[in-house]
Amino acid sequence: MTIEIRPMRRADIPGTFALIRRAYPCLVLTEALITERFDRPLTYFRDQRFVAVEGDEVVGHVLSRLYEDENERTHGQTYMAAVTPRRVDGDLSDRLLETSERHLVDNGTEFLDADAAEEGVQVGGEDFRRAILERGYELTESSKILGLDLTTLPEPPPAPEGAELRAFREFDDDPRPIYEIDKATSEDEPGGPDDGFLPYEDWVRILWDNPLADRDLSLALLLDGVPVTISCYRSDGTGRMESGMTGTLREYRGRGLAAHTKTKALHLARQKGLRHAYTGNHSDNAPMLAINDRLGYGVVGSEETYRRP
């Protein structure tokens, strides 16, 4: 039967979500979020999902993202590639990548990024990596994807003197303090955004108001009433959670604030019935890798980004 590759339609969403969920065992995602983004697309990113359809079955998926950096250069990114297992050894990965590239180039991108991961992170990822390398992409960065069974958590380290923890929910009226810490720590982090951090209004719409953002699990640590550390999480309602960012303002680092905040958030998640936590760390982010090692996170696999003109 012929496989057709075309833009995703609303009716394709259930099959697309099922395919992505099988292909990305560490990913926190819901069918409701895909539907939300289909019905109300974001403006900061210009996303287009493509699906490969065989009869009535979705057998492949790729997401093409266009965005501009602070110098108004258009970037194109291909990621979240998924292929049904029986089609992994064919040419479907090549066709999905070519489709995404054509879309991105037709919309003015100056260079192309593409992501691929090891099998524990992306089932069929090695075949997609082969397709990427055969098309002349070169490695630009690598991250480790870590997983944690929440039943094995260590006890939290002692609370620093003068510290107070507050759930993000308490900042609903004014999340600007959380934004400022997220911006400062993301820009300091290895592999941080090279296209500038999100403007506040986009951050609120894309991250703070994301349907997966768990503002009851995400915590801010205050010292003498001033927020200085954050630990952000998303959850999918099925027992899985992932870390978005854990960071401390530069002048407060070295006091164990991030370790305390992150551990308390994970204990809170376990109390609420979550079972598995995942996080990604840039390979050069030694401080956070050390914290995650003490918490008991283990490496699930690596994820790489490749680039070509």
Region 89-104: what's the mean pLDDT? 94
Between the alpha carbon of residue 44 and those of residues 57, 71, 217, 307, the distances in Å are 31, 15, 26, 21
Cα 7 to Cα 48: distance, rounded to the nearest angstrom: 7
DSSP lists the bridge partners of residue 276 as 149, 240
Inform me whether the pLDDT recorded for 20 exceeds 90.
yes
Residue 192's pLDDT band, with cuts at 50, 70 and 90, is low
DSSP secondary structure code for residue 206 in this structure: I
Angle ∠(261,266,272) on CA atoms, nearest 5: 130
Residue 217's pLDDT band, with cuts at 50, 70 and 90, is very high
For 5-19, 68-82, 224-238, which range has the lowest pLDDT when averaged over its residues?
68-82
Domain 3-136 class in CATH: alpha beta
List, for residues 230-277, the tens digit of each pLDDT value: 999 999 988 899 998 999 999 999 888 999 999 999 999 999 999 999
Query: Which pTM was predicted?
Result: 0.87
Q: Which CATH number fits domain 149-300: 2.40.30.110, 3.30.70.360, 3.40.630.30, 2.70.70.10?
A: 3.40.630.30
Identify the CA nearest to 63 among candidates 3, 121, 120, 113. 113
Task: Note the pLDDT of residue 123.
Answer: 95
Task: Note the pLDDT of residue 281.
Answer: 82
Cα 236 to Cα 274: distance, rounded to the nearest angstrom: 10
Alpha helical stretches, state H, 135-256 = 176-188, 200-203
Inform me whether the pLDDT recorded for 303 exceeds 90.
yes
Neighbours of 284 (CB within 10 A): 12
Pinpoint the residues of the chain covered by CATH 3.40.630.30: 3-136, 149-300
Region 58-75: what's the mean pLDDT? 87
